[in-house]
A and B are shown apart, each in its own frame.
Chain A
């Protein structure tokens, strides 16, 4: 780390949940941060997800390790924010409600049991349930359920509230947050090190840049001459009218009748959020009626009781994806002083707590909470490995 005479130590580019978590982790370590967001704070991908913190959907590997670390990190981080900001400004509807993965068809049931066994050997709390036990936990679940796994650690929060709470802490520590700032490129000195970022209103001097640009992280990396294969993916969410408490108790995910995977769970107000997997996306996307219908079909099959419930709204949004489905966290060896925290493949909210912490630890040279190797820019999996799309 180099500290300049003027300017800040780090410019974090991106005011979504990942940028906010990085800025929080850095300012907690005494790093002087300026967060630059092109649009409104927490207004893009962060405002278009479902806020699920899940390990249930992660196959064993570095993705699961990071998710487990993040799910354990979130409550600690939120407790610290409550201490620092007071309960009202730190509130973000965090609720450890547990997850339930279910399968209806025989071959999917076998695959689910196999996945749970592998997750258990990787240290995850994944408890197999009989169909009766599953219906005992989730009374409105379809009686056709054949296999179910309970994940007590799965949780939920409201992403915009979480991001604004993290940013409130950044502000409280003297960090600066600027919106409407479009970072065009990264400026380097004669020695090749980062000296600032360029904006339409002139340069912002800094010693390092954290690229937390979400679906646009690839664009900034490209402008800095260090291309990053982060591509936008599209996800869709349906929100129902409020239902009586307990109608849907867990975050339930499953696949029915060969349809797409669907994740169903209730918000504190009783509304049920139904979200899809992410699909490849073009530059301009709109909601597709067929996607909404497919989501509705899967949900009505999983929870027949929901068939009569009105869907009040629907939204879609871009989520960043990488070729190997893992985020990129760490300094770019091609470009000293340029750090990435990007490519979270639709799980940015779940992974933000560990991502910010890992980035902060790597930045200040502390021992990391997880092995950073699988997330580094120079890993073989970026741009080479087969594509995975496992995150809902």
Chain B
């Protein structure tokens, strides 16, 4: 090997940017790959997208100032393959605007790979969720913060998890009226253990949550727990929603249904689902929907590290700590130049983040009662318009008993989103129908082609590993 070793970091959010910086400071060449134009990911969208401003966010400035980091923006990794040396990988990526053909194809050899691909919003299906005007809480916030545009004038927010609060506040800031925030869980349990929450989440985070709650209270937004939107109604667009009280299993309490009208948008968020296609392509062990990492963020696959929300959702502070630890570990493993003190400090913050993630998950679990709201005609997969009845027939009439064959039988998850929105829900519904989880629960997360590639762009790509590696 003549060239110095190289780390490829995928994802430039808080975890990926910190991983790139830590590895680069350790003397390693880093390529930081991200689909967005600028560093920051979903979380730092706000400070980066100030209209008319080219001011750099501190994180972005550090990345730009670091000569050993090559930042590939608007770049997506579409496949990973084993590389020429043990623990190395070929990273196949394309760079350029997603709207146009002719994206540049490139293949990198990564001596170590740090996967910080983040997570996306989870939405649980209910009658009417396919209506225009029903959006994810994350999309609503991105629109409000990034483009100062409100998804609607009178909006309802429903789901579970602390992210609903900043999403609702961002709507207020963008000029919407928020007709209610309905939290399906019962978060008060968590706050009973305030010392632990303070220790692991940090005072800043609690202050942040308190400020959101304050803003909602000032605007007299009703915030209720153990309630959720169980149906959306409208002719061609959401015009009204039904809110109901939920029992402990999230079944609807009979007689508690109440219609809220008029509304012109509904924001839904049931936590987040890690983006697993690249970790799975790299052969990383995944358990309970998360990439399994050791105390140094190393995955089960040699040469592959993971950080941030792919390993569990605990917010940007924890993600940044994991990213730094992963970058340090990757650099240390490649150069044998370990910085024990920094690794130890980062590891301590990571442990706090993990406790916080566990507390979040315990506070905001998804209860199986959501399945009971589905009717014969409720769409499970919006891309391919597969109803719950069709999914059930695939299992009961056709005897399909694995996600791969269920997909091919009723076409759930075969559309444009390739199961990113519906895959986990479908697997949960199938588990309910079979009375056991399907053998291949992760089949809808496995995407050997991690991102769509135009046929002509694929044809233009270079064959084999690059000559200079």
Which of B249-257, B326-334, B369-377, B399-407 contacts its partner?
B399-407
**Is B408's CB under 8 angstroms from A47's CB?**
yes
In the bound complex, how far is the Cα of B79 from the Cα of A293, in angstroms?
Answer: 12
Q: Which residues of A contact B469 (CB under 8 A)?
A: none
With an 8 A cutoff between CB atoms, is B294 at the interface?
A: no
- For the complex, what is the distance from the CA of A180 to the CA of B438, rounded to whole Å? 12
State in angstroms the CA–CA spacing of A103 and B455 once bound together: 21
Contact A316 B448 (CB under 8 A): yes
Contact B400 A164 (CB under 8 A): yes
* Nearest CB of B to A116, in Å: 29
Query: Are A313 and B418 in contact, CB atoms less than 8 angstroms apart?
Result: yes
Which residues in window 297-322 of A have CB below 8 A to B? 297, 299-300, 306-316
B82 at the interface (CB under 8 A from A): yes
Nearest Cβ distance between residue B277 and chain A, in whole angstroms? 11
Instruction: Determine if B399 and A41 form an interchain contact, defined as CB atoms under 8 angstroms apart.
Output: yes
Contact A289 B408 (CB under 8 A): no
- Contact present for B101 and A308 (CB under 8 Å): yes
- Could you say which residues of chain A place their CB within 8 Å of the CB of B459? 293, 296-297, 299-300, 307
CB of A287 within 8 A of CB of B400, answer: no
Contacts of A316 in B (CB 8 A): 448
Neighbour of A177 across the interface among B79, B399, B408, B448, CB < 8 A: B399
Q: CB distance B452 to A312 under 8 Å?
A: yes
The answer to whether B402 touches A310, judged by C-beta atoms less than 8 angstroms apart, is: no
Say how far B137's CB is from chain A's closest CB, in angstroms.
26
Question: Chain B: interface residue count, which band?
Answer: 35 or more
CB contacts (< 8 Å) of A171 on chain B: these are 399
Q: Quick check: B448 and A315 within 8 Å, CB to CB?
A: yes
User: Do A307 and B456 touch (CB < 8 A)?
Assistant: yes
| Inter-subunit contact B449/A313 (CB<8 Å) | yes
Least CB distance from A331 to B in Å reads 29
Interface residues of A in 216-267 (CB under 8 A from B): 238, 240-241
Residues of B near A211 (CB, < 8 A) are none
Counting CB contacts under 8 A, is A158 at the interface? yes
What CA separation (Å) do A43 and B458 show in the bound complex? 28
When distances are taken between beta carbons in the complex, the residues of chain B under 8 Å from A313 are: 414, 418, 447-449
Please tell me if the beta carbons of A240 and B402 are within 8 angstroms of each other in the complex: no
Partner of B404, one of A47, A158, A309: A47
A364 at interface by CB-CB < 8 Å:
no
- What separation, in Å, do the CA atoms of A299 and B90 have in the docked complex? 24
> Does A299 contact B455, Cβ atoms closer than 8 Å?
yes
Smallest beta-carbon distance B331→chain A, Å: 27
The answer to the question of B135 belonging to the interface, with a C-beta cut-off of 8 Å to chain A, is: no
Which A residues between 160 and 210 are near B, CB-CB below 8 angstroms?
160-161, 164-165, 167-168, 171, 177, 179-180
Binary flags per residue of B377-390, CB closer than 8 Å to A gives 1, else 0: 00000001000000
Whether B52 is near chain A, meaning CB under 8 Å from some CB there, is no
Inter-subunit contact A296/B458 (CB<8 Å): yes
- The listed residue (A240, A286, A311) touching B82 by CB distance below 8 A is A286
Report if B461 contacts A (CB, 8 A): yes
On whether the beta carbons of A160 and B409 are closer than 8 Å, the reply is yes
Q: In angstroms, how far is the closest chain A Cβ from the Cβ of B100?
A: 9
Query: Which of A164, A240, A299 interacts with B399 by CB under 8 Å?
Result: A164
Asked whether, in the complex, the Cβ of B398 is within 8 Å of the Cβ of A308, the reply is no
B92 within 8 A of A: yes
When the two chains form the complex, which single residue of B393, B440, B456 contacts A300, counting CB atoms closer than 8 Å?
B456
Q: Are A287 and B408 in contact (CB under 8 A)?
A: no
Partner of A89, one of B90, B397, B414: B397
**Within 8 Å CB of B440, what residues of A?**
40, 43
Cβ distance B434 to chain A, nearest Cβ, rounded Å: 11
Interface assignment of B81: CB less than 8 Å from any CB of chain A = yes
Q: How far, in whole Å, are A308 and B103 apart by their CA atoms in the complex?
A: 11
B408 and chain A: residue at smallest CB distance: A160
**Closest beta carbon of chain A to B168's beta carbon, Å:** 34
Q: Are A309 and B454 in contact (CB under 8 A)?
A: yes
Q: Is A289 a contact partner of B92 (Cβ separation < 8 A)? A: yes
Q: Nearest-CB distance from B217 to chain A (Å)?
A: 45
The proximity string for B residues 397-433 relative to A, scoring 1 for CB distances below 8 Å and 0 otherwise, is: 1111110110011010010101000000000000000
Cβ contacts A to B, 8 pairs, < 8 Å: A41-B399, A160-B409, A167-B399, A286-B448, A287-B81, A289-B461, A296-B456, A300-B456
- Taking beta carbons and an 8 Å cutoff, which residues of B are in contact with A? 79, 81-82, 90, 92, 101, 107, 281, 384, 393, 397-402, 404-405, 408-409, 411, 414, 416, 418, 438-440, 447-449, 452-456, 458-459, 461, 463-464
Contacts from A to B (Cβ < 8 Å): 39-43, 47, 88-89, 158-161, 164-165, 167-168, 171, 177, 179-180, 238, 240-241, 269, 286-290, 292-294, 296-297, 299-300, 306-316
Other A-B contacts than A306-B456, A312-B416, 18 sampled, CB-CB below 8 A, are A39-B402, A40-B402, A40-B405, A41-B399, A43-B404, A160-B408, A177-B399, A238-B449, A241-B416, A241-B452, A287-B79, A289-B90, A289-B92, A292-B449, A292-B458, A307-B454, A313-B447, A315-B448
Q: Which 5 A-B pairs have the closest CB atoms?
A: A307-B456, A40-B402, A296-B458, A160-B408, A310-B452
